[in-house]
Structure 1
Amino acid sequence: MKSLLLFGTFWAICLFTILTAGEAQVTLVVAAPGSDITLGCFFTQRETNNPLHVRLIWLHRDTEVVHRYSNGRDQLQRQSPAYRGRTKLYPDQIAAGNASLRLTGVQESDHGKYTCVVDNEMGSFLVQVSVRVAAPYSEPQLSTQTTCKNITVRLTSSEGFPQPTLNWSWAGGSEVTHLSLDSRGRYEVRSEMALQTNDTLTVTVEMKLEVLNQSFSRTVTLHPLPECSVKRDRLWLLAPVVLLILVLALLLILLYIRRPPTGSDIDKDSFSSEGSGGGVMSESLQKNT
C-alpha cells in the first residue's frame, strides 16, 4: 500500500513536471531497426545527496511506462509489455546524475517522443528525446536483361527503412516493385521495368528516402540486340513474297471454280442422260405388255 502511494505521488509529480515544462528542448536520435541506442538524460546531483532519494521514470508519448527506478533499484512492475527485457539504466552512474536509458532491438513502434523525469533532493528535472526509426539505403545497383521480346531494367538496394519512393522516367513500360523485410526489420528493394522497344533509349530511375533526405538517381542507355533487328528485317523482306504466294493461290482457286466445261465433261453428262432415258423407256414397255 505504501509503495502504491509513493508511485501515485511520483506519477503526479511526473505529470505536473511534463505539463509545466512548456517547450522543452528535444534531442533527436535516429535509430535503425534492430539496433541498440542510448537515450541521454542528465540531471543535477551533488555528492552529498543520497542516491537512494533519486526517483526517475522514462515515458513514451507521455503515458507509456518504459522504465522506472526508485529506492536504489529498478521498479518494473508497471513497465509496458512492449519494453520488457529491452531497457537498461546505468545504476553505477545514477549517483553522478546520469539517468540515460539503453534501449535494445529498436522496432518501428519505438518511434516518437520519450520523456525522462527525475526527482531528487535538488528538485525535479525533465529531459525529452525524440526517436526517429529510419536507416539509409545502400547504393542502388542497376542491371539489364535484353531479349528480342523486351528489355528489363532491374534496380536493387537494401538496408533501408522505411519504404522509399521510386520513380521511373519511362512511363510506357511495365513496372513491378517488390519490398521485403530482412531479419533486422530493414527493407530489401527490387524494382523492375520491362520495355518493348526497337530503338536505343535512355531510362532514368530515382529512389528517395525523404525522412533522411536521401536521394539516388541512376541512368542507363538501352540497345536492342542486333540479331533481333536482323530477324525483323528478314521477316519484312519475306512478307511481300508470302503475300504474293497467297494471292496467286487464291486466283488459281477462283479460276478452277469458274472455268467453262470441257468436251469430256459434256460427253459424260450426255452419257448419263441417255442411260437415264433408256431406263424409263424400258419401264414403259414392260407396263404396256
Structure 2
Amino acid sequence: LPPSSLLFPVSSAELQVLVPQLPVVALYGMDTTLNCSFSPVTPFNLSDLSIFWQVALTGRSVHAFWDGRDQLVDQGESFANRTSLFQSELGSGNASLLLRKVQIADEGVFSCFVKVQDYNKAALLVQVAAPYSKPEVIHRMDSNLRPGDEVSLTCEAYGGYPEADVMWQDGRGRNLTDNVTTSAVANEEGLYRLYSVLRVTVEPNSTYTCRLLNPVLGDEGFASVTITAPTPRPWRCSAGLGNDSAGRKRAHWAVVTRAGIGGGVPFTPPLQPKHAR
C-alpha cells in the first residue's frame, strides 16, 4: 500500500495535541526540533491527516502537510528550505517540526495544528540564544598615574543574543553600580556587541572584574584587571630620581589582566620603573 493509504490509530474523542510547556531554547545558527505530538487510538489514513505549523502572532505559514505530502506553496519566505516533518513518524503521532539554521527572527510563539477528523492545536515559545565572545577588559594606562586619579575600564563582548547584563565587581566581590555606562549595538543578524565603561578612582593593588550574564544561557564568564604599584626604589633628592616637575615622587603602575571560565584577555607585562633625567 502507498504511504497515504496506511492506517494509524487516533483518538475518536477530542484530539489531544501536546507541546512542551517550557520555552524551547534554540541556538543561533544551529538546528532545533519543535516537539509536537497527537494522541492516536483509532485507525486513520495518512491522506486524512493535516498538520499546520504557524507563527502564532501573524498566522504566517511555517510548514504545512495534507493529502499525504508537504504543501509549501504558502510557506513564509524566511522559512524556505529550513523546515521538515518526521515523515516516518507521522503515523505514530509525531507532528514535530525540524527547524534548520535558527535565526534571531525565529524567536516567538509557534502553533502546531493537527486535524484527523477532529482537530486541535497547541502553542510553544521559542527563545533564541547565542553565546558571546570572551569578555575582554580594554584599558589605557598611564605610567604616571597617581592614587586618586580617575581611569576608564572598558569591557567588550560581541556576537551574542539576547542582550546580556554586564556586572562590575571590585576585588572583594562587591557590585559596582556607580559610574557605569553600558550600551548594546545589534548587527544585521540581530547579534549584539556590548560595551560597558567603568570610571574608577585609582587605588594601589585594586582589582576590577567584568562579568557577563546572558538571560537565557546564564553566566558567560568574566575578565579581570588588577592595577598594582611596584615597591619604590631608593630615592635621593640630590639625584632627582623619580620626581616630576613639582618635586613629587612619581608612581609607576602596572596592569595585570586575567580571565575566568568563558572569558579571557591577553596578559600585559608590568610596566618597568623609569628614571627621570
**TM-score interval, smaller chain:** 0.5 to 0.7
Sequence identity of aligned pairs in percent? 25
Offset at 1:103?
Answer: 1.0
Structure 1 counterpart of 2:36, from 17, 41, 44:
41
Shift of 1:37: 0.7
Q: 1:35 to 1:26 in 2, by over 3 A?
A: same
Find the aligned partners of 2:186 and 2:140 in 1 and give their Cα distance. Answer: 23
1:72: which partner in 2?
68
Partners of 2:109 and 2:211 in 1: how far apart? 32
User: Contact 2:30–2:100 (CA<8 Å) still a contact in 1?
Assistant: yes
Question: How far did 1:106 drift?
Answer: 1.4
Checking the alignment, whether the CA contact within 8 Å between 1:140 and 1:157 is kept in structure 2 is yes
SS at match of 1:26: coil
Tell me if the contact between 2:214 and 2:220 (Cα under 8 Å) persists in the aligned partners: yes
What does residue range 220-259 of structure 1 map to in structure 2 within 5 Å? 220-224=225-229, 233-237=243-247
Q: Map 1:1-289; keep pairs closer than 5 Å.
A: 26-45=21-40, 48-62=43-57, 63-121=59-117, 123-137=118-132, 140-142=135-137, 146-148=141-143, 153=153, 155-158=155-158, 160-168=160-168, 186-187=191-192, 189=194, 191=196, 193=198, 197=202, 199-214=204-219, 219-224=224-229, 233-237=243-247
Q: 1:184 to 1:64 in 2, by over 3 A?
A: closer
Q: Does structure 1 conserve the Cα–Cα contact (< 8 Å) formed by 2:31 and 2:101?
A: yes
- Where in structure 1 do 4 or more consecutive aligned residues deviate above 6 Å? 170-178, 225-231
Q: CA deviation at 1:227?
A: 8.3
Amino acid at match of 1:116: C
TM-score, normalised relative to structure 1: 0.58
Matched to 2:162, the amino acid is P
Structure (1 or 2) with the greater strand fraction: 2
Q: 1:137 to 1:43 in 2, by over 3 A?
A: same
Q: Distance in 2 between matches of 1:174 and 1:133?
A: 28
Partners of 1:147 and 1:225 within 8 A in 2: no
TM-score (ref. length: structure 2): 0.60
The one-letter amino acid paired with 2:102 is V
Aligned counterparts of 2:116 and 2:39: Cα–Cα separation in 1 = 9
What letter matches 2:94 in structure 1? N
Q: Secondary structure at the match of 2:162?
A: coil
- Give the Cα–Cα distance (whole angstroms) in 1 for the partners of residues 144 and 184 of structure 2: 23
Instruction: Give the SS at the match of 1:235.
Output: coil
| Secondary structure in structure 1 of the residue aligned to 2:30 | coil
In 2 relative to 1, CA 115–177 (structure 1 residues): closer, same or farther, beyond 3 Å? closer
Show structure 1 runs of 5+ residues with no match.
Answer: 1-16, 240-289
When residues 227 and 91 of structure 1 are mapped into structure 2, their CA distance, relative to the original with a 3 A threshold, is: same
Rg: which structure is higher? 1
Shift, 1:139, TM fit: 5.5
What is the alpha-carbon distance in structure 2 between the residues aligned to residue 127 and residue 172 of structure 1? Answer: 46
Partners of 1:134 and 1:212 within 8 A in 2: yes
Displacement of 1:54 after TM fit? Answer: 0.2
Task: Specify the SS of the correspondent of 1:48.
Answer: strand
